Amino acid sequence: MAKFKHAFYNIFVFLFSFLILGCQPNAQSTENNTMNQQPYLLHFGPQGFQDFAKYNLGRVDNHPVASFRELDFSPPNLGQIKIENGASSLVIDHVFSVLGTSFHQEDGIESMMINAGLNKEEFVTPNQAYQGYVNLMQRVNKAGWKNYFYEVDPRIAKEDNFRYLKEWGEAIDPSYIFSYEEWKKVISTSVGNSFGYRLYANGLLLNIRINQKETTEDGQEQYLVRYSFNTIRYDYRNSMNDSENNIDTYTMSAEELRQAFEKEVKRKKESRVMDEQEAKAQGYRIDEHYVGPDVWQYVK
């Protein structure tokens, strides 16, 4: 079965994977200011500009197509970030770096990439690593984040969670927390010793990837967790842009945008139907009852 991914997401991850190299912990970080142990509160949208300016003395890196805001933290004083998202606000512990990005000034912060540890300590026992994973997923579920399928992707049923994870490196059931034995098997057998989740809540998309970076001779393990946030508005509008045909959703009238959106929805649904037929032929079960977010409310 061909794996159908959102086209721009691949470009997005590649871009930020490159840029984040400049955001690793260093001696010139944010003065290890822990704000009296209170989390750094970060918003999306125009408020995000003010947040980064408050915590980062207004440092901005401007490029022709985007502007970037950074926060860096040095061990052992790692940061704690709270992504403000209403009832689905998410607190992220053990943060090394945050990269906030704006592609459209009027929309403010549209994307954030956060690098963090799974645990406070750099190297931990397998049991400690597992508990860090459990704590993370309990927090994600408590905040109401749900599994997200791009509209072109087959809606694989949760019953095939383990098979999909083994083949594609992504879990499709965040509500299911692996047992300790399952966790060890997932980490040891996954490509690159990593796996992830693709989630949504209240207008935001979130990709979480847990990566075992290193193991020592005495059995200690080191993990990195990468959180990639996008606003649904930015993600969907950008997927509709087409430079070859001079289509820019940010310059369209309201009616042009509506027509372009309906055309895109139809195209993606037709593509998904074919992909789901192929997935069924491969023995996958399809979740016919899956309901994703109402993206139009964010796109318009």
pLDDT value, residue 37:
58
pLDDT value, residue 58:
55
Specify burial of residue 126 (Cβ count, 10 A radius: 0-12, 13-18, 19+): middle
Domain count along the chain: 1
Residue whose entry in the numeric block shows the structure tokens 């139809």 = 266
**Has residue 28 been placed in a domain?**
yes
pLDDT value, residue 278:
97
Are 283 and 218 in contact by the 8 Å Cβ rule? The answer is: no
**Has residue 1 been placed in a domain?**
no
Domain containing 205 equals 7-299
Residues of the chain with pLDDT under 70: 1-37, 57-59, 243-245
pLDDT value, residue 253:
92
pLDDT value, residue 23:
39
Are 60 and 49 in contact by the 8 Å Cβ rule? The answer is: no
Beta bridge partners of 70: 99
> Would you report the helix, strand and coil content of the chain in percent, each value rounded to 5?
40, 25, 35
- In three-state secondary structure terms, 237 is helix
pTM greater than 0.75 (yes/no): yes
**Has residue 2 been placed in a domain?**
no
**Has residue 225 been placed in a domain?**
yes
**Has residue 125 been placed in a domain?**
yes
Are 98 and 39 in contact by the 8 Å Cβ rule? The answer is: no
- The continuous run of DSSP H or E covering 179 comes out as none
Residues with Cβ < 8 Å from 156, sequence gap 6 or more?
149, 164, 172, 279, 284, 285, 286, 287
**Has residue 113 been placed in a domain?**
yes
Are 188 and 75 in contact by the 8 Å Cβ rule? The answer is: no
Alpha-carbon distance of 18 to 123, in angstroms, equals 25
**Has residue 205 been placed in a domain?**
yes
**Has residue 11 been placed in a domain?**
yes
Beta bridge partners of 131: none
pLDDT value, residue 243:
61
